[in-house]
Amino acid sequence: MSYGGVDAMKDGGTSRGTFFVIKAFYLYDSRMTGTEKSFYGLGIAPAILEIISKLRFMSPTPIQEQSIPVAIEGKDLMGIAQTGTGKTLAFGIPLIQHVLHGKISGLVIVPTRELALQVDETIRKVGAPLGLKTAVLIGGESIFGQIKDIRRNPQIIVGTPGRIIDHLEQKTISLRNVGVLVLDEADRMLDMGFAPQLKRILPNLPRERQTMLFSATMPEEIVSIAKSYMKLPIRVEIARSGTTVKEVTQELFFVPQEQKPKLLEKILQEYRGSVLVFSRTKYSVKKVSALLRALGHSSAEIHGNRSLGQRKEALEGFKRGKYRILVATDIASRGIDVTNIELVLNYDLPQNPEDYVHRIGRTARAGAGGHAISFARPNQIGDVRTIERLTRKTLPVSKVPNLPPPLPFKFRMERAGGKPFVKHKKPFHSRGYGGTRFEEKRPRSKFFKGRR
């Protein structure tokens, strides 16, 4: 393996001194063509290599092959790669090796609870046989149980920014021994407004540490973090920011909002495997999930109003086949690591075009194939063009098949499991009008019968 080219950018006056980003393009020697790549020769300790072999991780992905040697050397690293390319092991293996061979601990900061549990599971698969202890600090779980885990002196802590700050304020955790910091899905953390929390956490860490930052996109805010908190980081970029996985085939339908349920029903008749449906709001997720259950599909939902236990149950049920369809908001676009998802369906286009990349990256993971379908309203042509500019691909538009006219609203509600609407006569005198009118209202419950 050799460096084909090195570009350096210099910007002085940062809090970490002179800032250099080295962007390395790795070229393979022609003699290596046709040979099978392996984890041997990347600087990984023999004990970890043995565990990797038992887990049947035979060949490293490009981001793993290029990042692991740099990270094991202890250098700061910025890794840019598409979703589903194995970034967790790319930083997890060097992190485990450093904490097991030194008197330091590791901290991994992630944006969502689901991603924290996923990262912890992957790290424990490799590190637990070597006696590695971890702790997960996320909201939605008892803080007292987490304090108990902290008292066991874990070598690696995985957490979300808000809960880490809770422990810092209660002085139940100290980060002064952290020698390796990992910011996973950094762009998502910034999208979710975690920049102020990161600025509160990072001053509690030693200045002399290794920092690794992994992301699928590279907005300006990420570069700003690199300038402020990293020293001469090596930038490993597997694909241009915003690139989608090539194994994913994409399809777009321009369809009115009221026709989306019928089109969803028709598409689900063509796909028999596991399906992941993304919607923009929590209310829409609940409505789509109720519609799917009314159609006879086994489905679950994940959104911000669900408790951690409910979200765990939905994700585990989706993995094990209890639910064929999982409906989620963008909170799950980076926290679902489920292989063999046949179809990702964007019931609503995402608010941020970067989220489109992460949504469709839930299928075609680990080199497998997959398909992504998106619904766009006729007035969303501008949003589609924004996604195409980011991905540098034209989304193929498919013709909407002939669909029956939409049902009246009250019948759609009944079919989706809602209560029927009935007409009540209501006087207008309370608002200063004379006469009466008919309004559609839900029937009052027995408890409120006869009450105002």
pLDDT of residue 408: 56
**Residue 150 resides in a domain:** yes
**Is there a single domain that holds both residue 282 and residue 233?**
no
Given a cut of 80, whether residue 30 has pLDDT beyond it is no
Collapsing DSSP to helix, strand or coil, 448 comes out as coil
Together in a domain, 159 and 279? no
d(CA 339, CA 392): 26
Instruction: Give a yes or no: residue 421 inside a domain.
Output: no
Three-state SS at 347? coil
Q: Is residue 449 part of a domain?
A: no
On whether both 173 and 115 belong to a single domain, the answer is yes
Mean pLDDT along residues 405-417: 53
pLDDT bin (cut points 50, 70, 90) of residue 345 is very high
CB 127 within 8 A of CB 84: no
**Residue with more model confidence, 294 or 452:** 294
Whether the per-residue pLDDT at 14 is higher than 50: the answer is: no
Residues 227 and 271 in one domain: no
Q: Which of the pair, 368 or 277, is modelled with greater confidence?
A: 277
- Provide the number of structural domains found in the chain: 2
pLDDT > 70 in the chain, percent = 76
Residue 267 has pLDDT above 60, yes or no: yes
Indicate if 209 and 276 belong to the same structural domain.
no
Of 237, 269, 299, the domain-final residue: 237
Dihedral angle at the C-alpha atoms of 173, 174, 180, 183, nearest 10 degrees? Answer: 50
Is 408 contained in some domain? no
My answer on whether 318 and 175 are in the same domain is no
pLDDT at 396 over 80: yes
The answer to whether residue 314 sits within a structural domain is yes
Cα 352 from Cα 386, distance rounded (Å): 9
Kind and range of the H or E element at 197?
Answer: helix 195-201
Nearest to 181 by CA among 162, 169, 164, 167: 164
Is 41 contained in some domain? yes
Range in 9-23, 119-133, 337-351, 375-389 with the lowest mean pLDDT = 9-23
Of the listed ranges 16-25, 140-149, 156-165, the least confidently predicted one is 16-25
CA dist 186 → 89, 334, 344 (Å): 16, 11, 23
Note whether 209 and 255 are same-domain residues.
no
Which residues face 183 on adjacent strands? Answer: 109, 213
Q: Is the pLDDT of residue 246 over 90?
A: no
Using CA atoms, how far apart are residues 289 and 137, in angstroms rounded to an integer?
Answer: 30
Q: Give CA–CA dist 161/108, Å, rounded.
A: 10
314 in the same domain as 228: no
263 plus 182 within the same structural domain? no
Per-residue pLDDT, averaged over 154-160, amounts to: 95
241 pLDDT band, cuts 50/70/90, is: low
DSSP track, 318-334: HHHTS-SEEEE-GGGTT
Q: What is the pLDDT of residue 272?
A: 86
Same domain, 233 and 252: no
Q: Is the pTM of this model over 0.75?
A: no
The domain that holds 201 is classified in CATH as 3.40.50.300
For residue range 210-228, list pLDDT tens digits in order.
Answer: 999 988 777 777 778 777 8
Distance CA 99, CA 408 (A): 61
Residue where a domain stops, chosen among 186, 210, 237? 237
**Domain closes at, from 190, 209, 237:** 237
Name the percent of the chain lying above pLDDT 90: 42
Least confident residue range of 62-76, 170-184, 269-283, 421-435: 421-435
Please compute the mean of the pLDDT values over residues 134-141 and round it to a whole number. Answer: 92
Say if 428 falls within a structural domain.
no
Q: Same domain for 272 and 309?
A: yes
Residue 373 has pLDDT above 70, yes or no: yes
Q: Evaluate the CA torsion angle 81, 84, 86, 89 in order and state its sign.
A: positive
In a domain, 420, yes or no: no
Domain match, 100 and 199 both: yes
pLDDT at 286 over 70: yes
pLDDT at 116: 92
For residue 94, give its domain range: 2-237
